[in-house]
């Protein structure tokens, strides 16, 4: 029986390691895909248009909102970010699980529209480690890092909105936890009801 893909919303402070954990968990798997967001943020060194993000200007972003092209969108540290709807819908219809790496306001919008989405919060082992990772990543100015740390403190207040928390200390363990959560969601009784009816 072909199952519909499931939607996984992954949030957590910038620098917690969300994209690293997501890409680690996706290695060698074809049943998982990552939704590339659109953003008005400028690309960091090494980032490529269409890979990390679709980098667009404000005008185009506003056009996407007006054209209902986005599943959700939010402003994060002075820039727009949003999830293109079409790709997500196509992948889910093909039975592929879709991972969204989005912040809390966007996660709340997705939860409204897709109540079955699984909400996962990724955190670093400590805020000190978060700062260390942001500094080591070397992609943000000291000012941007300070803004992201402040935002992280606010985001922690909303952690109870999520279904699962992954503490990204060891990358292998964190990726294994993400895979386990995805597997568990596919074993939910409500999703297996067809097998019972088939008896
Ligand atoms: P996010 O997507 O949450 O903003 P990134 O995936 O860009 O975070 O990770 C931030 C930085 O932390 C990167 O330099 C990444 O290599 C590093 N990192 C990610 N996970 C770990 C980990 N488990 N241990 C040490 N460093 C990590
Ligand atoms: P960064 O600038 O570090 O890549 O991302 C900043 C924040 O924006 C992260 O918390 C990330 O999860 C979030 N983000 C990335 N894409 C989207 C999106 O499409 N929608 C929303 N709401 N947040 C996003």
Minimal-distance CA residue to ligand 2 atom 17: 102
pLDDT exceeds cutoff 60 at 1 = no
The whole-model pTM stands at: 0.94
How close is the Cα of 191 to the center of ligand 1, in Å? 33
Residues lining ligand 1, judged by CB closer than 6 Å? 12, 14-20, 133, 136-137, 168, 171, 174
How close is the Cα of 166 to the center of ligand 2, in Å? 18
Domain formed by 7-197, architecture: 3-Layer(aba) Sandwich (3.40)
Which ligand is nearest to the Cα of residue 137, counting in written order? 1
pLDDT at 43: 95
Average pLDDT on 161-179 reads 97
pLDDT exceeds cutoff 60 at 196 = yes
3-state secondary structure 7-63: EEEEECCCCCCHHHHHHHHHCCCCCEEECCEEECCCCCCCCCECCCEEECCHHHHHH
pLDDT at 192: 87
Please give the angle made by the CA atoms of 26, 54 and 162, to the nearest 5 degrees. Answer: 50
Residues lining ligand 2, judged by CB closer than 6 Å? 11, 14, 37, 41, 72, 74, 76, 81-83, 101-103, 105-106
The pLDDT tens digits for 20-61 are 999 999 999 999 999 999 999 999 889 999 999 999 999 999
For the chain, which residues make up each domain, given as ranges? Answer: 7-197
How close is the Cα of 107 to the center of ligand 2, in Å? 10
The pLDDT tens digits for 105-129 are 999 999 999 999 999 999 999 999 9
């Amino acid at each position: 029986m072909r199952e519909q893909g499931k939607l996984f919303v992954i949030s957590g402070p910038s620098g917690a390691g969300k994209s690293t954990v997501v890409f680690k968990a996706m290695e060698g798997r074809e049943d998982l895909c990552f939704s590339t967001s659109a953003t008005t943020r400028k690309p960091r060194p090494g980032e490529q248009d269409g890979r990390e993000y679709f980098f667009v200007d404000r005008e185009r972003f506003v056009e996407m909102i007006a054209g209902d092209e986005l599943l959700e969108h939010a402003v994060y540290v002075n820039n727009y970010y949003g999830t293109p709807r079409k790709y997500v819908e196509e992948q889910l219809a093909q039975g592929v699980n879709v991972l969204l790496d989005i912040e809390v306001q966007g996660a709340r919008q997705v939860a409204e529209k897709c109540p079955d989405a699984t909400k996962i919060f990724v955190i670093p082992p400590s805020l000190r480690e978060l700062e260390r990772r942001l500094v080591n990543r070397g992609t943000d100015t000291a000012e941007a890092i300070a803004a992201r740390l402040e935002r992280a403190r606010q985001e922690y207040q909303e952690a109870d909105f999520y279904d699962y928390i992954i503490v990204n200390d060891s990358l292998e363990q964190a990726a294994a936890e993400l895979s386990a959560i995805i597997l568990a969601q596919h074993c939910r009784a409500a999703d297996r009801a067809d097998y019972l009816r088939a008896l």
